[in-house]
Structure 1
Amino acid sequence: IDQMVTAERLAILKVFGVAAVVMFVLSVLLASTIAGPVRRLADAAERVRRRIRARVEIPDFTKRRDEIGHLSGALRDMTDSLYNRIEAIERFAADVSHELKNPLTSLRSAVETLPLAKTDNSRARLLSVIEHDVKRLDRLISDISDASRLDAELQRQDAAQVDLRRLLTTLTLVANETRLGHSTMVEVKFDGPASDQFSVPGHDSRLGQVISNLLSNAQSFSCEGGKVRILCRRRKAEIEIIVEDEGPGIREDALEKIFERFYTDRPHQGFGQNSGLGLSISKQIVEAHGGRIWAENRVGPRGEDGEPTVAGARFVVRLPAK
């Protein structure tokens, strides 16, 4: 009996020793494959919180096919989005400061010079400058306020199906009924069956803002008695909206620049009559809906030199359909 008990005790000790070795090996493996990477990711996230102004690199474990790899990829994408948003805010603040400084400098100069004006004509000119700068500041502040809260509004609001047929028809009627100082007519055409609503997921008010900006832009560049045409059609999984005018077109080197913030090229209008934010806001809205927008020139008949002429500008918006 004593021999049997001793043998069983030795067997239990052997099993315990093997189990201890296995547990130690598993603990080392788990620490190196799970706890260690998680700790490195947590330390990197903490460094991001402390050093928000300096870009911190998140450890890359995306080659792993488990949850750690997925977590690493998600943290890297989130950090990149955070830094891109911070950089965009900094650029926006710098652009706003630069744009506001110009009219403020002009306004300050006019106000300081006004007491020194000796004639009524000089005072009238200075008052005109002051009035122009105040209106420009008011326009800039309104557009800047709209642009600054755009992202937050698009994130807070739930997307719904937008009937583009009804939206474009309504905006066309409004544009034709509220023509101010010009006789440019707006025509809308739908390329598809009458029952097709051309529905896209999004925010109807913001998409309406995009079309309104494009219509206002086209009307301002069109000649008296000209027409602005809107075409809406389906292209596979996308809805395409085309806005064409009969104006002078766009310079080739400005086809991309016109969508930049505060850029404006309106030689036919006085300085400071436009904030340069309309097309930038439109691009921001379209991209937030997963779409694209670009500008191009309409090709007209060939001129005397044999080169094709420019018949106007064309803005193309493509949005993913439902």
Structure 2
Amino acid sequence: MLSNFLKNLSILKKFLFINSIFFTIIGLFTFIYLKNVQPNLIKKKSSNHIEVINNTIDNLTRLNVKFVEKDIRKFLFSTRFLFQNLDRVIFFDNKLNLIGDTDTLDLDPRSFSQRLDTIELEVLDSTTTKKITEEKNIDIGNENNVSLNDVLLNYATSKNFGIPFTFTEEEFNKFKLTTIKNVMKDGENIGYLAITENANDIKAAIDERKTFVIRTAIAVGIVILIFSFVLNRYFLKPIKNLVSYTKIIKNKDTKKTNIDTLKLRNDELGLLSNSLDDMTLELQKRISHAENFSTDLVHEIRNPLASLKSASEILHDAQDSEQRLKLINILSHDVQRIERLITDYSQMLKDEVALSKEKIKKIDIEPIIKSVVDDFNNIYKLKRGINISYKNDGKNKYLIYGIENRIEQIIANLLDNAISFSDDDKDVIVQVSKSEDSKVHIKILDEGQGFKEKDTNKIFKRFYSNRPDKFGQHSGLGLNIVKNLVDLHNATIKASNRQDKKGASMEIEFPKV
């Protein structure tokens, strides 16, 4: 039930709800503690009173002191050091007459006041603590209040007679603690003994604890509110903005999305926003790329299909064998062209999938280029007499961040393109150099026809092919694949005609490591 309830709450509400539960539990335990702290402190002082009372009764019994005013006064004078830490010690006979009071020992003119305000009676023993609060209107000295005599009278007639009683008295800024007990001799009650002590320290300790708890609660509450505000303002709201951003992208909403303010942050949310935005742009780019590629592929296939259809219709009616052979060659050519387009397209999709799984690392491209050059020399030197040579500028290592087999693919595609435009017995040169700013450059130079295009960038577009003499033999995807792989390595590729002689130049520039 609770888990289902929490599932439907936002993070902020969950945070506030859980904190309120802990706050309530802590507050409950604190309340219980504060309710028990005063009785515990009173019980501790009461235990001291009971010990003093028992010692006093033992001394009275041992000294055989009679419970009359004269003997009790002498006893108080002789043993007053026993009560020096107490505010007042009072003796009553069994008829509740005052027979001794430490307040009168120093000839203090004050008489014993029988005025006591509202009294909280409390029975304290080793096992139980009982509280009784009473208010009585008894006319003593024309004042309506409860006297100590009334407390003693209640004590004498109660079922707890014989057990020490402790009660508290609050008057103005005073908090007094009084313990009374009857005095037995030979199985007979001969009087009562009352000890009164100023217990303002108990009140101060309780007030101090209450103040501390209240201040702590207020401070914790303020901290929770501030943290909730910070959590909501700097974490939850940006996350909501990111969620809204993803929903708008998912639903292809026309509503403008902007997370540039989040991308400016230097914390984890800023990194997440940048990563999410880059991922979204990359996905959109790939989707657009796939859509455009599919459209271009359909367009490219439509031409040979139309040619196939026309040739097949004419072939059906053609009677001349030479004409039929010509039409069959056209059909064969168009089928090969469609097959080449589909094969190259399939390979391109496979390459894109593989690229998503491969990791870029630091590599030295020189041995990779040498390996590709050796492989091509073994094929084309014997077949067409084309010599492919490798040159460098004498530097030690040519380090880049890249994918080894993709670098091989780039060099192989460029060499294949250069050889296809070269006549037999010509040279193709692969040059590797490092500039002063540590950027690595690769140049592939051939001795072919060069570029007829004014804008050489168009040769990297999909399905572009300027080969009138070899129409249909190339899909026009080779250089486009090279361009995509070069972009993957954060490098640039540039096509131009050679300055020193006739031929084409392809130059790739890799960023420095």
- Normalising by the residue count of structure 2, what TM-score does the alignment of the two structures yield? 0.54
Q: Say whether residues 1:220 and 2:420 are aligned partners.
A: yes
Which ranges of structure 2 fall in alignment gaps of 5 or more residues? Answer: 1-168, 174-202
Output aligned runs, 1:5-154, within 5 Å. 9=210, 12-13=213-214, 16-17=217-218, 19-21=220-222, 23-48=224-249, 50-51=250-251, 57-59=257-259, 60-154=261-355
Task: Give SS of 1:318's match.
Answer: strand
Aligned to 1:186: 388
Q: Which sits farther off after the overlay, 235-244 or 269-278? A: 235-244
Aligned equivalents of 2:230 and 2:426: distance in 1?
A: 75
Output aligned runs, 1:132-281, within 5 Å. 132-159=333-360, 163-179=364-380, 182-192=384-394, 196=396, 198-235=398-435, 236-267=437-468, 269-281=469-481
Q: Map Cα deviations across residues 242-293 of structure 1 (whole Å, 9 max, x no partner).
A: 11112221135231001111111123x2321211111111111222223221
Return closer, same or farther for 1:197/1:25 CA change in 2, 3 Å cut-off.
closer
Letter in structure 1 aligned against 2:509: R
After TM superposition, give the deviation of residue 177 of structure 1 in Å.
3.1
Aligned to 1:304: none
Aligned to 2:507: 316
Letter in structure 1 aligned against 2:507: V
After TM superposition, give the deviation of residue 22 of structure 1 in Å.
5.2
Task: Give SS of 1:176's match.
Answer: helix
Name which structure has the greater RCO, CA cutoff 8 Å, separation 6+: 1
Aligned equivalents of 2:348 and 2:393: distance in 1?
A: 33
Check whether the contact 1:249–1:298 (CA below 8 A) recurs between aligned residues: yes
Task: Give SS of 1:256's match.
Answer: helix
After TM superposition, give the deviation of residue 76 of structure 1 in Å.
1.9
Letter in structure 1 aligned against 2:228: S
Which ranges of structure 1 fall in alignment gaps of 5 or more residues? Answer: 301-309
Letter in structure 2 aligned against 1:239: V
Aligned to 2:487: 287
Check whether the contact 2:248–2:257 (CA below 8 A) recurs between aligned residues: no
Task: Give SS of 2:307's match.
Answer: helix
Task: Give SS of 1:311's match.
Answer: coil
Task: Give SS of 1:149's match.
Answer: helix
Q: Report % sequence identity.
A: 32
Aligned equivalents of 2:407 and 2:212: distance in 1?
A: 77
Letter in structure 1 aligned against 2:506: F
Return closer, same or farther for 1:223/1:65 CA change in 2, 3 Å cut-off.
closer
Letter in structure 2 aligned against 1:255: T
Aligned equivalents of 2:403 and 2:228: distance in 1?
A: 53
Check whether the contact 2:386–2:427 (CA below 8 A) recurs between aligned residues: yes
Check whether the contact 1:110–1:129 (CA below 8 A) recurs between aligned residues: yes
Aligned equivalents of 1:17 and 1:198: distance in 2?
A: 66
Aligned equivalents of 1:11 and 1:294: distance in 2?
A: 76
Q: Map Cα deviations across residues 122-144 of structure 1 (whole Å, 9 max, x no partner).
A: 21111010010111112111211
Letter in structure 1 aligned against 2:421: F
Task: Give SS of 1:290's match.
Answer: coil
Check whether the contact 1:55–1:83 (CA below 8 A) recurs between aligned residues: no
Q: Map Cα deviations across residues 156-203 of structure 1 (whole Å, 9 max, x no partner).
A: 23446655433333333333332387433222222215xx45354433
